[in-house]
Amino acid sequence: MLKIDNLHASVEGNEILRGISLTVNAGEVHAIMGPNGSGKSTLARVIAGHQDYEVTAGEVLFDGQSLLELEPEERAWAGVFMAFQYPIEIPGVNNAYFLKAALNAQRKARGEDELDAMEFMSLIRGRIRDLDMDPALLNRPVNEGFSGGEKKRNEILQMAVLSPKLAILDETDSGLDIDALRIVANGVNALRSPERAIIVVTHYQRLLNYIVPDFVHVLSDGRIVRSGGKELALELEERGYSWIEAETRPAAVVA
Amino acid sequence: MSGVQTHTGTASHYGRLRERVGRHEPAWLTDFRDRSLGRFEDLGFPLGSDEEWRFTPVGAIAETPFGPADVPNEDDIQAALARALYGSADFAQLVFVNGMFRSDLSDINGLPRSVEVGSLRNACQSHSDIVRANLGAVASGGPSFTSLNGALMDDGAFIHLPAGVLVDRPIHIAHVSLSGDSPIGVHPRSLVIVGEGSSAVIVESFHGAGDMPYLTNGVFEAVVGPNAGLEHYRLQMEAESAYHVGRTAVRLARDARYTSHSVAFGAAISRHDLGAVLGGENGVCTFNGLYMGDRRQLLDSHTVIDHATPHCESHELYKGILNGHAHGVFNGKVFVRKDAQKTDAKQTNQALLLSDTARIDSKPQLEIFADDVRCTHGATVGQLDADSLFYLRSRGISLEDARSVLIHAFASDIIDRMSLAEIRSQLEGVLLASLPKTSTAFWEMAE
Ligand SMILES: Nc1ncnc2c1ncn2[C@@H]1O[C@H](COP(=O)(O)OP(=O)(O)O)[C@@H](O)[C@H]1O
Ligand SMILES: [Mg+2]
């Protein structure tokens, strides 16, 4: 589904991603871990099409199509979704209207009928309940004044409603207490299906107890320095990141 | 020098016009007009060297011989009124066409009997004492345009609430200008007096049509008595060919409340001077402003809030949206006089520049002479927030729609502060019409 090949990306002339290759097939859940500043969010945002990053080399294919040539909204229409590490507050834009507009824009782009207000409300009512989210948040401006946890739930609500083919969750676990974490994880697990793929970006292993990944990759200084199964996450939990970084540093110097 | 010649030339033009107006008026009014003309002739039209007019050249106004208005044909009037009036709404209305009161098009039913509402020109005769005592008393001094208005003043509203009347029914003062074959100048003048403990909602609107340039040079003055309230909407929706200059001057007594919602959407050059004096303790003054310009429009808002007494509050929020080669000017003065302790004043102005060629000059000017006060001001100028655009787009909303959504959100912050639903939906309509059409699907739920 997603094929990233030798991806290099810079911001303001600094190279952040230094040759990432990663293949994610339908039905798989991949976790991307790594220390702060290693480029996890950059990778997620480059896939989503954020304007700050310049791709200097490499390719990102999504269902065989080059994502890098698409505008952010076209990537969304193709089925890419990124839950933001820091969701944006948008004063003056009603959360429910926003979500309905987003859903209908995607449906329209795919040649599906748009939902009217009634259909939309019945669709989200259940999702809100599943996420144990305060329905009042729907009638507030997007993310404005939401607590950290409310913002993260709102991201997951959007994901649940938009039901993307590829969901990238950037540190969705940060700022959540254990109950909220479980609820959010259930939301993500509900999306798991043979047609979909999920990339979970996280700093801690904790979330991976609830969203069990098929593969774990460790990102360090803009490169994937190790890949493995779910046991890699446990090893990282025990030993930290430094042993991997120590092991890989000489290689980096040689390269 | 040509600037000097322009002044003498226009002064004599307006002197001649002065001779044509007000032939059968009371002597005090004749005197008022003559004094005003004298001041106008002394000052002349403002020059670019005048700090208050630095960004707003009025050469085009000074050099155009705006003449007296004709009586337009009825079809044109009806077409203009269709846009200007709130058909089904529960508003009382006073209609002025090219500065002339049209009682046949006005409707002041449904107001309490004790409230006096009508033409100011008529009131100069029928309520001579009260008009004489107040005319020019609040709108004193000011730009020379105010004096030009005093000299040539056409008609406008006279609204007088005695003590203790709460008027729920909004009173709409509709000014419609229709120029004919030559440029016309209209000088509307309104006087509003809200007695102790009374309250009113007034909507002042300016509409126009035609390709011929015309000048609207209006003055609105209001006295808000002790514990009285006035909510004042001022909607400048002139034709593209218009030059619009307006002055609003308000004086608040103790415990009084005044709210201005000032909107500037039309005209080639628009300048509004809005000033309020907090002249008694515990007064509350609120200025909300929204201006939206495109093409080569120049939209200038100059505001003054004068905290002359202690324990008063003022809240000011001005927002501008500028596209094309439009130029916005915001100047917000807040004076806190020496005795005005415990003043609480807050001023914010924000401008959104939608093109590389749009421009804003904004200048907050706080002059504080008291020591125990809380005064804040903030200004932001910029483009649409890139992170917000990306967030919307990442959810599948097109760039064009995302821009529209954010522009709408920016402006609706002001519109949402207005209590009259009719005005909110009217402005919402103007706003949506200015945004790309594809976005309308976004709003259907909101309606
Ligand atoms: N938009 C940006 N502008 C400037 N620097 C950035 C930007 N995004 C990321 N960076 C830099 O790139 C590096 C990687 O950041 P990020 O991808 O956020 O790491 P992570 O998510 O792994 O913590 C950091 O040094 C960060 O400062
Ligand atoms: Mg990050």
Tens digit of each residue's pLDDT (9 = 90 or more) over A171-227:
999 888 899 899 999 999 999 999 999 999 998 888 999 999 999 999 999 999 999
Q: Do B441 and A101 touch (CB under 8 A)?
A: yes
Question: What does the pLDDT look like over B155-179, one tens digit per residue?
Answer: 999 999 999 999 999 999 999 999 8
CA dihedral A7, A27, A49, A139 (to 10 degrees): -150
What does the pLDDT read at residue B6?
47
B259 Cα to chain A: minimum distance (Å)? 22
Q: How far apart are CA B278 and CA B226, in angstroms?
A: 11
User: What letter does residue B356 receive in the DSSP assignment?
Assistant: T
Q: Which residues contact B313 (CB under 8 A, 6 or more apart)?
A: B283, B284, B285, B343, B344, B345
- The whole-number average pLDDT for the span A11-31 is 96
User: What letter does residue B70 receive in the DSSP assignment?
Assistant: P
Ligand 1 contacts CB of residue A37 (under 6 A): yes
Residue A196: closest CA among A227, A168, A154: A168
Residue to mutate (ligand 1; options A7, A15, A16, A224; most atoms within 8 A of CB) = A16
Contacts of B446 in chain A (CB under 8 A): 94, 97
- Rounded to two decimals, the pTM is 0.91
Instruction: Determine contact, residues B105/B95, Cβ cutoff 8 Å.
Output: yes
Q: Where do the structural domains in chain A lie, given as residue ranges?
A: 2-87+164-254
Exposed/middle/buried for residue A147 (C-beta within 10 Å: 0-12, 13-18, 19+): exposed
Ligand 1 contacts CB of residue A38 (under 6 A): yes
Interface test with B, best of A93, A119, A120, A170 (most B CBs within 10 A): A93
Ligand lying nearest the CA atom of residue A36: 1
Q: How far apart are CA B395 and CA A82, in angstroms?
A: 9
Q: Above pLDDT 90, what percent of chain B?
A: 88
Which residue, by CA, sits nearest to atom 25 of ligand 1?
A: A37
Closest partner residue to A97 among B390, B395, B442, by Cβ?
B442
- Distance, CA A118 to ligand 2 centroid (Å)? 37
Backbone torsions φ then ψ of B141, nearest 5 degrees: 55, -140
Q: Do A101 and B387 touch (CB under 8 A)?
A: no
Nearest residue of A to residue B416, measured between CA atoms: A92
Residues β-bridged to residue A197 = A166
Closest partner residue to B395 among A92, A96, A158, by Cβ?
A158
Residue A151: closest CA among A120, A178, A121, A173: A173
Give the position of tokens 């080059």: A66
Helices (H), B275-398: 386-394
Query: Cα–chain-centroid distance for residue B17?
Result: 25
Ligand 1 contacts CB of residue A46 (under 6 A): no
Phi-psi region of A11 (alpha: psi -120 to 50; beta: other; left: phi over 0): beta
Question: What does the pLDDT look like over B349-406, one tens digit per residue?
Answer: 999 999 999 999 999 999 999 999 999 999 999 999 999 999 999 999 999 999 999 9
For every residue of chain A, DSSP letters joined together read -EEEEEEEEEETTEEEEEEEEEEE-TT-EEEEE--TTSSHHHHHHHHHT-TT-EEEEEEEEETTEEGGGS-HHHHHHHTEEEE-SSPPPEEEEEHHHHHHHHHHHHHHHTTPPPP-HHHHHHHHHHHHHHTT--GGGGGSEETTT--HHHHHHHHHHHHHHH--SEEEEESTTTT--HHHHHHHHHHHHHH--TT-EEEEE-SSSGGGGTS--SEEEEEETTEEEEEE-HHHHHHHHHH-SHHHHHHHHHHHHH-
- Distance, CA B78 to ligand 1 centroid (Å)? 61
Residue to mutate (ligand 1; options A8, A32, A42; most atoms within 8 A of CB) = A42
CATH numeric code, A2-87+164-254: 3.40.50.300
Ligand 1 contacts CB of residue A42 (under 6 A): yes
Low-confidence ranges of chain B (pLDDT < 70): 1-11, 88, 437-447
Longest dimension (CA), chain B: 70
User: Which ligand 1 atom is the nearest neighbour of the CA of A53?
Assistant: 1
CA dihedral B280, B376, B331, B403 (to 10 degrees): -130
Which residue, by CA, sits nearest to atom 6 of ligand 1?
A: A11
Ligand 1 contacts CB of residue A11 (under 6 A): yes
A117 Cα to chain B: minimum distance (Å)? 7
Residues of B at the A interface, defined by Cβ within 8 angstroms: 386-388, 390-399, 401-402, 405-406, 408-410, 412-413, 441-446
Q: How far apart are CA B93 and CA B305, in angstroms?
A: 29
Contacts of A48 in chain B (CB under 8 A): 394
Ligand 1 contacts CB of residue A10 (under 6 A): no
Global ipTM: 0.95
Closest partner residue to B396 among A77, A84, A91, by Cβ?
A77
Closest partner residue to A101 among B397, B406, B410, by Cβ?
B397
Residues β-bridged to residue B193 = B160, B223
The overall average pLDDT reported for chain A is: 92
Contacts of A103 in chain B (CB under 8 A): 396
Nearest residue of A to residue B415, measured between CA atoms: A92
Question: What does the pLDDT look like over A40-74, one tens digit per residue?
Answer: 999 999 999 999 999 999 999 999 999 999 999 99
Q: Find the distance separating the first CA and the last CA of chain B, reported in whole Å.
A: 57
What does the pLDDT read at residue B55?
96
What does the pLDDT read at residue B88?
67
**With b meaning 16 or more CB within 10 Å and e meaning fewer, what string describes B89-103?**
bebbbbbbbbbebbe
Question: What does the pLDDT look like over B278-327, one tens digit per residue?
Answer: 999 999 999 999 999 999 999 999 999 999 999 999 999 999 999 999 99
Instruction: Determine contact, residues B192/B220, Cβ cutoff 8 Å.
Output: yes
Residue to mutate (ligand 1; options A8, A11, A172, A174; most atoms within 8 A of CB) = A11
Contacts of A100 in chain B (CB under 8 A): 445
